[in-house]
Chains A and B, each alone.
Chain A
């Protein structure tokens, strides 16, 4: 399967994503420069973390206008798998591919730590094979990762089971102290209504090797691989 890792100026997890993906069997991964205009021929698209364009305006607000983003939007609408990690999640929200917004952490500080998240829905291409309640240990590193959406959007996200990951404690309880950034309802990651676009603040790319303290992140990428394989078999 071919994964495109988009490089925006200021992306700084592009190399980590590429290394993590290339570490999985059955994956070809390459960079795609933000000035490109087409993503035809790729099976999945990764928007990596970082500080695109320095994030001097709102996070992701400028990257959203990069030439490549038109192609990302077209491919997303056509059903291709798109995953946005950290800054990638912020860009997906700014681009309107995911609802809600990511605002300054409640603590007003950047937070880098290993956290526990709980899988909230198993029927997405990103959580396939992970029953609801599965715990994933993943690193977070962000200053603006506090997820916010209005009440109507939240209701819809919950009704349609678009929340894929919530921050929880080591036992799987969703508590305020387990929330690293003040996200509403401990939301760590959501997908779109069509379930092919996924944004999350934690870094699966930083949790693909036991030596780094967790390989749970690989389960998300492997889930994508399985989904792609199934689709391909069906086609």
Chain B
């Protein structure tokens, strides 16, 4: 072994096998490190490798799977993995950058700050690209909040804490939270899923790159001072949550949306000049990650001096400074000679700014500390050559068929299905989320054209004068029962939601939330779900432009239901095509696109009414789904569609009820489902067969709509008319009736009432 060129710092502990294990590195990985360095690492370098090669930063257990995603397309300007976020062309010289990212582990330990810093992190990822952040979505999952007991109390605390954290950060920084999804299930007890999405807009020529280009260019540190908060958070996020995780609370960072607002404005102002050669946010693994990644991307080296880094605490060691995950910081590589431009703009915004180093030509990440070398590592192997693993995969042994289930569960009477729909509408996963989104500023930036509560949020990008639809979707229960089909359906449902709002789907960012990959059943789920997502993304021509993998989502109670969250963005070419899910006028004709369906496996009805998370989830047929979406867009573009709402959790009955709940005034409907024939009442109302959309159309258009659907080979059923003060459904002899005001109240006030009673 060669000599150690970098000096050990005083008080550094000796490198022992225990210390290596404590850093989450295997003996093989340690050998690899020694080979890269040509010597043993010192303590600081061990810490650097530990975070860079953590699951969170290196995707070492998932990267081989992620390669299965389609990542290119005619509109894709920046592909997955190239930069902090992917970028998609939306025409006329404009583009959007978007990405979803998880903050599950921090939120489990400290829900408010965990969720808040998740929002801060994803916003930085977007403005790092030179894009102005326009809106946020979030996809959240918690343990049940209904009922009583210690766990329910804890779940409510996590739920309300996460909501408050998102509201705190998003509202203050002035980026509206305009949609998303929230589900509640036992599997998320103790390990909530907090996935946050941000989208920003930019002109093509504004695109910024996270590369350290130009040897000799100065490297600036801008933003908040570095403290000891969030030490090695990336490594913390790459472990299972245990009873002792609470002790890791120092690994959770504290967010300051005000500082980030200033940083955001200063960075965008600077990026509008010609002073910047590269820019990279300091997120997971902070200063370490940003320096070695920019160097690696630029094919250069970077040398920084820690003595010049603004700090808010004294006596910080190189290890602490490099591994801190203090928030609201960026690394900027300026063009030589433009230093004053950088300083002037950050001075204007009162944001700390320090020149801490320069770009070099030797490919090394070299960290100086008061003249001595604290770390010296080849940047490329550190950033890009983490070991990649393919773990053992094993299919779990659970198998149910629908038939068995239906035999086990007696058919519902007319009276009981009436009550079942009310219970489903009150169920927090289906109930209105107004208690949540009223706490989010969802109107700032004056672009929110369709506010939270419809199938997809619709946003007007003022600068570009473009209309976008965005949604997040995943049915974790389907994924638990059949991860591949669940993955396919997540993509299909997202595309269907966008189509219902009048959009053509453009691209996807995904967040894979799974358990410990070293357990073969978990890895099997991951692999299956990825293959399902990949198939579907190819089918819908929606490439994956980036995303995030969160593994180790396990609490002492067990692993989470696998959740490959799909966030999809679509473009609405013309404003008049914007469509919402709500019935618009009495007399309009209600039509079901698709069949009545019959699949009961994995339904919300079985889960909520019968307490069964079982069965074979519905099957998705790409050809049928594509034909349906194409025909629906054609109808919308021809001005034939008053409302469009997809059937998802709770089936046709829930979709019909939700279509009645127009925020500006409730409307009933008279529906006849006798055509479904031969099936059980509960099966007709609550099955979750795919590729179904409820639309309404003005009476004079109804025949034309049915005719066009027939021509396009899309099955369609005329269900009835909008009107009256009840949702009235006839099935043969059975006449079911729900007064609209009563079921609206069930649905609208459910979550607020649950939270208030605690």
Instruction: List A residues at the B interface (Cβ < 8 Å).
Output: 9-10, 12-13, 15-16, 19-20, 33, 49-51, 53-56, 109-113, 139, 141, 143, 203, 205-206, 208-209, 211-213
Contacts and interface: CB of A to CB of B under 8 A. Distances in A.
Nearest to B265: A9
B407 interface: no
6 contacts: A9-B261, A54-B259, A109-B438, A141-B443, A206-B443, A212-B448
A55 B256 CA distance: 11
B446 A206 contact: yes
Contacts of B259: 54
B167 interface: yes
Contacts of B439: 109-112
Contact of A56 (B167, B174, B258): B258
A143 B171 contact: yes
A157 B444 CA distance: 30
B167 A13 contact: no
B172 A9 contact: no
B67 interface: no
B258 A110 contact: no
Contacts of B403: none
A110 B171 contact: yes
Given A13-B174, A54-B257, A112 B438 contact: yes
Contacts, number: 81
Contact of B441 (A9, A109, A141, A208): A141
A211 B442 contact: no
Interface string B347-388: 011100000000000000000000000000000000000000
Contacts of B451: 213
B394 to A, nearest CB: 46
Interface centre among B256, B437, B444 (most CB of A within 10 A): B444
B445 A15 contact: yes
Interface string B429-453: 0000000011111111110110100
A142 B629 CA distance: 39
A50 B443 CA distance: 12
A65 B187 CA distance: 51
B460 interface: yes
A9 B262 contact: yes
Given A110-B171, A211-B460, A211-B575, A16 B444 contact: yes
Interface of B: 167, 171-174, 256-259, 261-262, 348-350, 437-446, 448-449, 451, 460, 462, 575
A212 B439 CA distance: 19
A155 B31 CA distance: 80
A179 to B, nearest CB: 14
Contacts of B349: 9
A55 B168 CA distance: 11
A50 B171 CA distance: 8
A54 B171 CA distance: 11
Contacts of A139: 443
Contacts of A9: 258, 261-262, 349-350
A15 B167 CA distance: 20
Contacts of A110: 167, 171, 438-441
A139 B440 CA distance: 13
Given A16-B446, A143-B171, A211-B575, 12 more contacts: A10-B258, A12-B172, A53-B258, A54-B257, A54-B259, A55-B258, A109-B439, A112-B440, A112-B442, A205-B446, A206-B443, A206-B446
Interface centre among A15, A50, A211 (most CB of B within 10 A): A211
B445 A54 contact: no
B438 A113 contact: yes
B258 A51 contact: yes
B445 A51 contact: no
A111 B443 CA distance: 11
A212 B171 contact: no
A156 to B, nearest CB: 33
Given A9-B350, A53-B258, A54-B256, A111 B445 contact: no
Interchain residue pairs A-B with the least CB separation, the first 8: A12-B174, A54-B258, A141-B441, A51-B172, A16-B446, A110-B439, A139-B443, A112-B441
B173 A12 contact: yes
Contact of B444 (A12, A113, A211): A12
A208 B447 CA distance: 11
Interface centre among B256, B261, B442 (most CB of A within 10 A): B261
Contacts of A55: 172, 258
B503 to A, nearest CB: 16
Nearest to B172: A51
B438 A54 contact: no
Contacts of B171: 51, 110, 112, 141, 143
Nearest to A54: B258
A54 B172 contact: yes
Contact of B443 (A10, A19, A56, A203): A203
A212 B443 contact: yes
Nearest to A51: B172
Contacts of A16: 444-446
A212 B446 contact: yes
Contact of A141 (B258, B444, B575): B444
Nearest to B458: A211
A112 B438 CA distance: 5
A213 B444 CA distance: 14
A219 B144 CA distance: 46
A209 B467 CA distance: 15
A212 B438 contact: no
Contacts of B261: 9-10, 12, 51
A83 B348 CA distance: 26
Contacts of A205: 446
Nearest to B451: A213
Given A143-B171, A211-B460, A112 B575 contact: no
A208 B460 CA distance: 14
Contacts of B462: 19
Nearest to A49: B444
A209 B446 contact: yes
Contacts of B348: 33
Nearest to A7: B265
Given A56-B258, A141-B444, A111 B174 contact: no
A228 to B, nearest CB: 24
Nearest to A205: B446
Contacts of A203: 443
Contacts of B575: 211
B174 A50 contact: yes
Nearest to B262: A9
Contacts of B441: 110, 112, 141
Contacts of A109: 438-439
A20 B445 CA distance: 11
A15 B173 CA distance: 13
Contacts of B172: 10, 12, 51, 54-55
Interface centre among B349, B446, B451, B462 (most CB of A within 10 A): B446
B258 A20 contact: no
A55 to B, nearest CB: 8
Interface centre among A56, A205, A206 (most CB of B within 10 A): A206
B446 A111 contact: no
A169 to B, nearest CB: 14
A60 to B, nearest CB: 14
B258 A112 contact: no
A208 B256 CA distance: 31
Contacts of B167: 110
A51 B438 CA distance: 18
A113 B261 CA distance: 23
B661 to A, nearest CB: 16
Contacts of A211: 449, 460, 575
A132 B258 CA distance: 39
Interface centre among A13, A53, A112, A212 (most CB of B within 10 A): A112
Contacts of B173: 12
B579 to A, nearest CB: 14
Contacts of A53: 258
Contacts of A20: 446
A212 B445 CA distance: 11
